Amino acid sequence: MLSQSSALLIALLLFPLPAIAQIIPDRTLGAESSRTVPDTIDNLPSDRIEGGANRGVSLFHSFREFNVGEGRAAYFTNPNGILNIFTRVTGGNPSNILGVLGVQGNANLFFLNPKGIVFGPNARLDLRGSFIGSTGSGIFFDNGFEFSAANPNAVPLLAINIPVGLRFRENPSPIVNSSSVTQVIEGTELPVGLAVPPGQTLALVGGDLTFNNGFASAFSGNIQLGSVASPGLVSFNITPIGLGLDYTNVTNFGNIDLSGLSTVTASGPGGGAIAVRGGNVTLRDRASLLSDTIGNIDGRDITVDAAQLRILDRGLISTSTIATGNGGNLTIRAADSVEIKGTGFDFFRRNILDAGTSGTSSFSIRQSGLFVGTVGAGKAGNIAVDTRQLTLREGAIVTNLTYGTGAGGNLAIKVSESMNVSESGVLTTTLNQGNGGNLTIDTGKLTIRNGAVVFAATVGAGNGGNLTVRASDSIMLSEYRPDSSFGTGITTNSIGGTGNTGNIEINTRSLLVDGGTSISSASGVTATDRVIPSAGRGGSITINASDSVTINSSSASDTLSSALAARSQLTAGTVANGDSGDLRINTKRLILQGRTAIGASTLGAGQGGNIIINASESVELTGTKDNLSSSGIATASGDTLLQSFFQLPPPTGAAGNVNITTPRLIMRDGATVTVGSLGSGRAGNINIFADSIALDNKASIDGTTVSGAGANINLQARDIQLRRGSRITTDAGSSDGGNIRINSDILVALPGENSDITANARTARGGQVTVNVPNIFGFSAVTREQARSSLGLTDAEFATLQVNPTSLVSTSDIAAISQQAGPALQGAVTFSATGVNPAQGLIDFPQNVVDPATLIAANPCTEEEGNEFTITGKGGIPQNPNDLLSSNSAQFNWVEPATGETQKTERKSAEIEMQSKPVIPAQGWVIDAEGKVTLVSYNSGDGVSARNPRNTGICVPQ
């Protein structure tokens, strides 16, 4: 970073001071030329400037050189009736303002030097009107006259009153500001730099604008900064807040660079306006644009228009209100990109995330970013960002905060191509009674990674805002941060207060939640290890992904606190009295892999939310091969791990329901769909509507309760398959077992794989299992006595088992039992639809061992005795052992055995008869010269051959 003296030295080398005099009038105005009179003003040696061309309310001055030395001053006299003083420098050298530049009156001062303007560290403005400094070539008026510094001309005799704009030619020269002079404001000495009186306009418009530890102030006024890089006219607009600038006729823009604590401020009662227009705009090294509203007058806006905006190393743009007046808006428009870089994640975590959730965050904590907020009763303004690419990294912040009773403003980000957030935050938060604002992101691709958070939260009585993300292509969340209280993700939270949590809505083509990240809406809890009882209602989550929603796992964690958050998840929950919101997913494909979860839960008295999933193609849940970490979809009242870690009492709230609608539900490797209750609250229900449901390798559909009312499971599918220890259960502890209802065409399990369907109870009554399935394979209904007997346990031992007893039996069972004895406690298994017997088509073979030799005929040509070959079952034997069976039964036509005489074969053309004939068992066979075997049969009626006989020439059929 350049020091203040270094910047001044460079500026002086670029723009050397005149060798002879500081201020030299030229002769372009003839008899009305300007005059300088030595004087002492405010104890400073000064040049008093008189003369000039007086035209109506305007006064024109023209100089060959104009410089103000260190410790000196230059003041323009202000004749009566003059409202505007126009000054041009025509000599070809820049102006170096190192001292005081002022007006002895109320007139506005326009200062024009096409060769450049430098304001030194002690440069100061002393005037009661506005100041417009420019390196344009001329000032254009409404009557067509141009007061030009490039082509100096005389001023017409007619009155000239209204300036309409600044004319720029090729390659406008720069403006440099290093002024850091101070002023005592309400007893405090503060740097103000170039300052105009409250309510006035300060405008600097030229080529490149450079502020190095340079300040510019217009308290409750209007500041305009513009950098022009091509010929054109910058038009003036007279607005209620002062002079505005219109760049419609400018095609290219230059650079604006603020560094080294440089500050541009329009704060004050009824905060002022700041407008910045450039090509590349950079704020770095604690540089800032500020417009804070003090008092009961509404504040005004900060607007930045650029091709590229970069805010680095604690650079800051902020507009807020600290009283009853409403704050102004902050608008960023960058045609190409916005980049905001902080000073590292640790500062961001400690001073923004942790402090914010505890209610101790402060505007005095500077970090790179965009800030809008309210500390008093006034409503905060809005933040709007519109660009092609947005990058937030290393602790950057875009935030709208509510500290007082006033409502928070909205935060709207529109990024046409891509938005990348790493170790940074996009936040709307209310810390008091005021309601938080809404947060909206519209982009093509959104990436949130490595501790980055996008959240809308409430820590007080105010309600949190809603969070909406629309990404036309994709959203990706990755890289969980264990050192962050919020992990990595998209969140709406109610933390420690009574305010309701906002809702989350996500619309995209593809959503990926990876590496322990999360999308969550919770009442009274952050994503990891902070729980503060809250009565606020949790928000709902709605995800619309036209192609897919994928949730991938992270690596296992060694610590409990990090293990709670290392799971990639979509969650809606409540800790205390507030009800949880619902979680709804609409997509083509939903995929969960490894340590992942979709959950809606309650850990207190609040009601748990529902999970509704509509997947037009498939839902696929995959745990891990060792089943130590599972993927799952769950609603729950209570969580053993969380309750133990956070020392929470048993919950009393009811769990929500899980509803899944999809053509294919595939679950494997310990994956679960669960509803449950660990307290007195009622467990929810599971409703699954699918064409196909497949569970493999300890996957489960589970409704478990401890003491609350039992869960119910309703499955409707064309086919359901359970493999390798998978289960469908509504088991209960001290409450009655839940009910299971299955409507399907086919229900399949392998008998020895211990895949169970149970509605058991440990101390209460078993539930009801109703199976409306015509085709059941591999399952057997099991009673309590059968289960107890197979385990070899006494009644007392069986009654005290701490695990589901049917899970200890190797067969695949359907059961609804109580571990306690007594018929009144036993549930019921009902098969209410009958179909094809799975054993149909099978033949009972004799049990005794037969000598294989007796089964071989001594004479294979023996006719009609001692030989029989029977094929049963649908489709017969396939032609190849690797082929599947045919869907149609094998068809055989009649064959008449050959006689011993040689016969002439006669072929006749006949219409092929398509009508099938009854199947007649083969009664013999013949072998031809090539060794082919032909099974033969006789017509049972008329003896007419259904097929011409074939003479084998080897043996006579027997």
Q: What is the DSSP string of 87-147?
A: EEE-SSS-EEE-SEEEEESS-EEEEE-TT-EEE-TT-EEE-SS-EEEE--SEEEETTS-EE
If pLDDT is split at 50, 70 and 90, which confidence band does 789 have? confident
pLDDT at 431 over 90: no
Q: Residue 669: what residue type?
A: D
Q: Specify the DSSP element, H or E, that contains 801.
A: none
pLDDT score recorded for residue 365: 57
Which of 499, 562, 502 is CA-nearest to residue 527?
562
Which stretches does DSSP call E strand in 759-915?
768-772, 775-777, 780-781, 813-815, 828-831
Question: Is the pLDDT score of 57 beyond 90?
Answer: yes
More confident call, 906 vs 639? 639
What's the CATH class of domain 1-265?
mainly beta
295 dihedral zone (left: phi>0; alpha: psi -120 to 50; beta): left
Retrieve residue 727's tokens.
């289960």
Percentage of the chain modeled with pLDDT above 70: 75
CB 525 within 8 A of CB 493: yes
Phi, psi of 255 (to 5 degrees): -100, 140
Separation of alpha carbons 541 and 492, rounded Å: 9
Whole-number Cα distances in Å, 17 to 20, 68, 144: 9, 10, 34
How many whole angstroms separate alpha carbon 685 and alpha carbon 708?
Answer: 13
Distance CA 292, CA 299 (A): 7
Largest CA distance in the chain: 150
Q: From CA 494, how far away is CA 524, in angstroms rounded?
A: 5
- For the ranges 3-17, 147-161, 179-193, 540-554, the lowest mean pLDDT is seen at 3-17
Nearest to 801 by CA among 782, 813, 778, 784: 784
Predicted confidence band at 889 (pLDDT cuts at 50, 70, 90)? Answer: very low
Residue range 665-690, pLDDT digits in tens = 999 999 999 887 666 667 789 999 99
Cα-Cα-Cα-Cα dihedral of 44, 45, 49, 50, to 10°? Answer: 100
694, containing H or E segment? strand 692-696
Pick the closest to residue 594 from 642, 641, 555 (CA basis): 555
Q: What is the pLDDT of residue 680?
A: 63
Q: How far is CA 716 from the centre of its chain?
A: 33
How far is 32 from 86, CA to CA, in rounded Å? 14
Mean pLDDT of 803-812: 84
Q: Residue 513's pLDDT is what?
A: 95
Q: Which amino acid is at 697?
A: N
**Cα–Cα distance for residue pair 501/307, rounded to 1 Å:** 37
Q: How far apart are CA 147 and CA 24, in angstroms?
A: 18
pLDDT at residue number 467: 95
Question: What average pLDDT does the segment 202-225 reach?
Answer: 97
3-state secondary structure 437-475: CCEEEEEEEEEEECCCEEEEEECCCCCCCCEEEEEEEEE
* pLDDT of res. 948: 45
Mean pLDDT of the region 530-550: 80
Q: Average per-residue pLDDT in the chain?
A: 82
Strand ranges in 192-301 using DSSP code E only, listed in sequence order: 194-196, 201-206, 209-212, 215-218, 222-227, 232-239, 242-246, 255-259, 263-265, 268-269, 273-277, 280-283, 288-294
Provide the residue ranges of all domains of the chain, joining segments of one domain with +.
1-265, 645-831, 860-958
Pairing of strands 23-25, 58-66: antiparallel
Strands 138-141 and 330-341: unpaired
Contact 330, 311 (CB under 8 A): no
Tokens representing residue 402 in the block: 């509510």
Tokens linked to 217: 């102030």
- Least confident piece of the model among 54-58, 322-326, 524-528, 574-578: 524-528
What confidence tier does 929 reach under pLDDT thresholds 50, 70, 90? low
- In this structure, which amino acid lies at residue 326? N
> Both tokens of residue 836?
């094809």
Q: In Å, how far are 352, 788, 883 from 347, measured between CA atoms?
A: 8, 62, 67
Q: What is the pLDDT of residue 930?
A: 65
CB 30 within 8 A of CB 72: no
Tell me: the pLDDT tens digits for 454-465?
Answer: 988 777 677 888
Contact 321, 292 (CB under 8 A): yes
Region of poorest pLDDT, from 410-414, 448-452, 453-457: 453-457
pLDDT band, residue 627 (cuts 50/70/90): low
SS3 (DSSP) at 37: strand
pLDDT of residue 326: 86
Indicate if the pLDDT at residue 36 is higher than 80. Answer: yes
Gap between the Cα atoms of 173 and 95, Å rounded? 11
Q: How high is the pLDDT of residue 61?
A: 97
Do 301 and 319 form a contact (C-beta atoms < 8 A)? yes
Please tell me the predicted confidence (pLDDT) of residue 852: 52
Who's near 239: CB < 8 A, 6+ residues apart? 222
Q: What is the structure's pLDDT at 931?
A: 62
Distance of CA 862 to the CA centre of its chain: 82
Token pair, residue 372, equals 């809008």
Using the predicted structure, report yes or no on whether residue 511 has a pLDDT greater than 80: yes
Read off the pLDDT of each residue in 99-125 and give the average, rounded to a whole number. 98
Dist. CA 346–CA 350, nearest whole Å: 6
Q: Averaged over 801-815, what is the pLDDT?
A: 85
Here the tokens at position 376 are 């008093």
The three-state secondary structure class of 817 is: coil
CA-based nearest residue to 951, from 907, 908, 897, 906:
897
Amino acid at 246: D
H or E segment to which residue 148 belongs:
strand 146-148
Predicted confidence (pLDDT) at residue 245 exceeds the cutoff of 90: yes
- Look at residue 350 in the predicted model and tell me its pLDDT: 80
Closest residue by Cα to residue 455 from 502, 404, 500: 502
Would the pLDDT of 659 be above 90?
Answer: yes
> Tell me, what's the pLDDT at 563?
44
**Whole-angstrom distance, CA of residue 524 vs CA of residue 426:** 20
Convert the pLDDT of each residue in 359-374 to its tens digit: 445 445 567 899 998 8
